[in-house]
Structure 1
Amino acid sequence: MRLAVWTTFLAFMCYLAMDAVSGRRNKNVPKSLSPMPKLITQHGYPAETHTVTTEDGYILTMHRIPYSPKSNSTDTKRPVVFLQHGLISSSVDWVIMGPDKSLAYLLADGGYDVWMGNSRGNMYSTKHNKLSAMLPIFWSFSWHEMGVYDLPAEIDYILTNTGQNDLSYVGHSMGTTMFFALMSVKPDYNAKIRHMVALAPVAFLRNTKSPFASITKLLPSGVLFDFVSNWPFFPNKKLSNGLLGTFCKIGTITQSMCTNTLFQIGGFNTNQLNQTMLPTILHYFPAGSSIKAWKHYGQLINSGSFRQYDHGLVNLYKYGNLYPPDYNLDNINSSVSLVVGANDWLATPEDATQLQLQLPFAVYHEVGLPEFNHFDFLWAIDVKTLVNDKVLSLLKAN
């Protein structure tokens, strides 16, 4: 385990070195990538781009598939579903595997109006109404802010523009953490959720086996580190992501290192990794976030609790206590389906079980493949039959 931690740490440092060579400037989308709407329209589906500004000034981009070309009419008022990606990911996650497999297309085919969020700090959401992404203060946020500021702005915008009273929510990894944070801190939003499907749910991390998560134990804590670490985390850059795509092509001597790094993050499952698609995936992933968001997960590992960000001595000013408060999961009265991978090293079945016990209206589901890991929820060869068909059935049942 210690060797795996240091291997992942070295891979992380190599990525940062490539990022430094490509320049610190954080541009929205590298020119070598197809724009998100084009990824959708090339398959004959309509695509829209929307922007919304959060209460604290971050300008977020959302992508939408309003209907499927397989539908009989575009005029029907369709139920809305919102998809929220995980850490260092983007809305591309939901379409990258194409119409036959990716969840966004399957939901559109199933009659849904599909909206996809992009959390602050990823390659589609690096703007602010006052701050430049070149400034450290821009990056002073965790997934807590993504939950309590980004999600309300997006949910309210969607409901206003569709005329609906509620929507269904599907999150992967950090997309589930954001949801649990929001509903705990702002419980009024439970009324706006018809049903929530949590893919690889993350709240408790007592049993995580992922070196990617465990590296956070090496990071110092305190106000000083928080100040100097306000920088992007795995930003999407033309050079660094392009090199990843090149290194991970089938037949290269570095290809096995790429796959092993992914497996050390999320769990091993060689049979479900589409290695032909991997270079394309790595042009869009990682998509960027903040170091503080990653560190917040490390705090969950160390504390064993699902709680707000630990600012050190500043806690006394911010929370009125030496320690940050736990999120009150009793406030979550939305119905929740927890969909768990048996071989997920990040969001382990043990931690998902603990979460289920603390959520008032949660049902536990395990994917029917013992080797199923964290990234298989997005990129598995059989993701349609193993996961996405189940997601559609859960949404229709609720």
Structure 2
Amino acid sequence: MNYKSQQMNIAIWTICVVAQIRFTSGSFRQNFPNIINGISDSQLTMPKLITTHNYPEETHEVRTADGYRLTIHRIPYSPGQFGRDDKPVVLLIHGLLGSSADWVIAGPQKGLAFVLSDAGYDVWLGNSRGNTYSRRHEYLTTNDNDFWNFSWHEMGVYDLPAIIDHVLAASNQRSLYYVGHSMGCTMFFVLTSNLPHYNSKIRIMFGFAPAAFNSHIRNNLFRIATFSKVGVEADRLYNSNFFSRNWIQDRLFQRFCHKDGPMQIICSSILFMLGGYNSTQLNTTLVPMIMSNFPAGSSLKSWVHYGQEMRSGRFRQYDHGRELNSKYYGTTEPPDYNLTAITAAVSLHISDGDSLIPYEDVTKLYRALPNAIGLFKVPLSTFGHFDFLWGLDAKHLLYDLIIGLMEKY
């Protein structure tokens, strides 16, 4: 990470923690005592997070057309089941700052990857460029600014096609089920609107807290992104990483975030400032494991791109400023994504407790999609953004529903 990137990340972390710290005082401290405990004992790699529960795991490398080398993971079958070549395939794609680990942290009978494996699916877990598991390139390193010159647009048009094609070839299948969380949904809409032939490779897409239109976001961290600038100089400045993990941060977490640590309240803020505070679904014993894997990092431009969406109220490509837009797009304004080109069946899932993806924005998305089969609200008012991944009752409230829908498609 270069000096400019370090300054940018430190500033963002500081602003966000200070802005949110008032939410983690008082009742939060009483309700969630010692929330960060034993983090140094929880740092398992993604394969270990799977195999420690006696599930088989495969690690695959996927190369994108623009040179990124992505690591993806597979749970081919559940313990006690016989591996079959004809098992239906499901691909899980994480949100901004997430990784494949998000789907397994909750463990068997709770984490969606395990639930789907037990239900008889061949489960694949993707990682987008720039996160913990996908920080390699054919000729760039993470110290090169050009490595970070991407947003979720490039993840949609480069990462997802490479991942989907690899998964289908390796599993000898012609189509798959797709589950995306937040940015994992954004990537899907980018892919299927820009490369419509991929619609035929999707049996049905399930969008958990689907991010596309973002005018009504209430989360303070993402509201900061609305103040981002555009133009040639800003475009260069934003070629840096965002919340990427390094050994310094990991050492700080271990030093200060353990039980009775002097900065425990700030450590817990780092997680909750991203997804909201009103959830009743958090299993506090998971927090050390969560903090050992999340945030997994991304590019600053991905965050800035969402800020641009908030300002414009539109779902469109990255705004480089008038001069660069003319160079890249042939117009002074970035083009909108053509949602009418998305012909795959889409099932959208939202919650009232999600400060990041409000009902108003998802309703706008739902009306714009030509083949949306439903807009489903999780029947619990306090279900939050991260509860789609780690909620205590997510299986009963959400996962059983999508498995039922999968059986119909």
The two structures have a TM-score, normalised by structure 1, of: 0.90
In the TM superposition, residue 138 of structure 1 has moved relative to its aligned partner by: 0.6
Asked if the contact 2:16/2:273 (under 8 Å) is kept, the reply is: no
- Structure 2: gaps (5+ residues): 1-11, 21-39
User: Which residue of structure 2 aligns with residue 319 of structure 1?
Assistant: 329
Structure 1: unaligned runs, 5 residues or longer:
1-5, 15-29
Whether 1:9 aligns to 2:18 is: no
Distance 2:278 2:377 in 1: 16
- The 8 Å contact of residues 131 and 296 in structure 2, kept in 1 or not, is answered as yes
Identity, in percent, stands at 50
Query: Does the 8 Å CA contact 1:230/1:290 hold for their aligned counterparts?
Result: yes
2:31 matched residue in structure 1: none
Deviations 1:251-296 (A, max 9, x none): 5564444445544432322421222211211011010100011100
SS at match of 1:40: helix
Indicate if the aligned counterparts of 1:31 and 1:238 stay in contact, CA closer than 8 A: no
1:1-398 to structure 2, matched below 5 A, reads 9-11=15-17, 33-71=43-81, 73-244=82-253, 247-249=256-258, 251-252=260-261, 254-312=263-321, 313-362=323-372, 363-398=374-409
Equivalent-residue separation in structure 1 for 2:134 and 2:18 (angstroms): 23
How much does 1:12 deviate?
Answer: 8.5
Deviation, structure 1 residue 74: 1.3
Given the two structures, how large is their TM-score scaled by the length of structure 2? 0.87
Matched residue SS, 1:60: strand
Which whole-Å CA distance do the structure 2 matches of 1:264 and 1:397 have between them? 37
What is the SS of the residue equivalent to 1:130?
A: coil
CA contact (8 A) 1:245 1:279 kept: no
Give CA deviations for 1:25-62 in whole Å, capped at 9, x if unaligned.
Answer: xxxxx998322111111111000000011010100000
Residue 149 of structure 1 deviates from its aligned partner by 0.3
Other structure's SS at 1:168 match: strand
What do the CA deviations read for 1:150-202 (whole angstroms, capped 9, x no partner)?
A: 00001011111111110000000000000000001011100000000000000
Q: Match of 1:397, SS? A: coil
Name the CA distance, whole Å, in 2 between partners of 1:246 and 1:187: 49
1:294 and 1:264, CA in 2 relative to 1: closer, same or farther beyond 3 A?
same
The 2-side partners of 1:130 and 1:238 are apart by 23
CA RMSD of aligned residues (A): 2.2
- Contact 1:57–1:130 under 8 Å retained in 2: yes
- Provide closer, same or farther for how the CA distance between residues 274 and 243 of structure 1 changes in structure 2, counting only shifts above 3 A: farther
Q: What is the deviation of 1:340?
A: 0.3
For 2:252 and 2:398, how far apart are their aligned partners in 1? 31
Q: Would you say how many aligned residue pairs link Structure 1 and Structure 2?
A: 377
Q: Structure 1: how far apart are the matches of 2:185 and 2:46?
A: 23
Instruction: Provide the secondary structure at the position in 1 that maps to 2:284.
Output: coil
| Cα shift readout 1:308-343 (whole Å, capped 9, x = no counterpart) | 000112111111111000000000010011010112
SS at match of 1:64: strand
User: Could you tell me how far 1:210 is from its partner in structure 2?
Assistant: 0.8
Contact 2:19–2:220 under 8 Å retained in 1: no
Change (3 A) 1:223 1:32: farther
